[in-house]
Amino acid sequence: MRAASLRERSAELGRAAIGAPPVRSLRAELQRGTVGIIAEIKRASPSRGQINSNLRAADQAVAYERGGALAISVLTEPTRFGGSNADIEAARSAADIPVLKKDFHVEPVQLLEARALGCSAALVIVRAVAPPALAELIHTGKQIGLELLVEVRDENELDLALSAGAEIIGVNNRNLESLVVDLAGMDRVLPLIPRSCIAVAESGIGTRADIERAGSHGADAVLIGSVLSGSATPEQTLRSLTAVKRETRARQG
């Protein structure tokens, strides 16, 4: 387990996280009147297999920034997604927009590592941790200045995320067990996210119509991976997906 391998470096990573330079806020970047795009760097996935084995993180990050992405998501899981921490460093050095570390973060020490790497944010999946651990991860993120994209799939998980103090919530359209994508999930859950939170639609988003659908339910942003990572012209592909208007969510809070 990669989290376990970091435990002996916890003190070192804690010092590095606390001493890391300030970074741009993901939350602040996504507070706009149009649906922002978090553009993802990934070479492969369990559902798609190889997407772009020759992808260079720095070049992709530059293309994303030029194409209008508000943030970059970098998959660092090596076995199924072909990622690494080196991709974080390359993307962060090449582009001046927030970087989100996307991985299976289940222990606070992993968040210390993310902040030490210069990330603005990291992914935490509600169904991957027990409620007390979720609260601990969110607390750790706030302590070290690392924003968390807290991923949910349904109403129950949304309630858990809100109870734990989540402020940026992602709605995953993909069933992580079957890998089946169903955009009806975001139709149902996005409107339930309080206006005080940032709402992000994840997985299965690939067309302007998909983004318009997410925006109609109040998504502040969408996370797009395979379509952009697999594109021969990622900058142009991204430009064609920007500037979609979003509706205001009804739920106060």
Judge whether 89 counts as a catalytic residue. no
Q: H helices of the chain, where?
A: 2-6, 10-19, 26-29, 57-67, 78-81, 85-94, 108-116, 131-144, 155-163, 184-189, 208-216, 226-229, 234-239
Annotated catalytic residue: which of 65, 101, 102, 226? 102
Annotated catalytic residue: which of 29, 40, 65, 113? 40
Annotated catalytic residue: which of 42, 45, 101, 107? 42
Q: What is the largest CA-CA distance in the chain?
A: 47
Judge whether 172 counts as a catalytic residue. yes
Annotated catalytic residue: which of 73, 120, 203, 226? 203
Annotated catalytic residue: which of 45, 120, 172, 226? 172
Contact 203, 236 (CB under 8 A): no
Judge whether 235 counts as a catalytic residue. no
Annotated catalytic residue: which of 107, 167, 202, 235? 202
Annotated catalytic residue: which of 107, 113, 147, 151? 151
Judge whether 245 counts as a catalytic residue. no
Judge whether 203 counts as a catalytic residue. yes
Judge whether 136 counts as a catalytic residue. no
Residue 157 CA from chain centroid, whole number: 17
Contact 99, 74 (CB under 8 A): yes
Location of structure tokens 């991204």: 238
Tokens of 134: 């979720």
d(CA 239, CA 169): 25
Buried b (16+ CB within 10 A) or exposed e, 40-50: bbbbbbeeeee
Nearest Cα neighbor of 120 from 151, 97, 95 is 97
d(CA 182, CA 187): 10
Distance between the two ends of the chain, CA-based, in angstroms? 38
Judge whether 12 counts as a catalytic residue. no
Which amino acids are annotated catalytic?
Answer: 40, 42, 102, 151, 172, 202-203
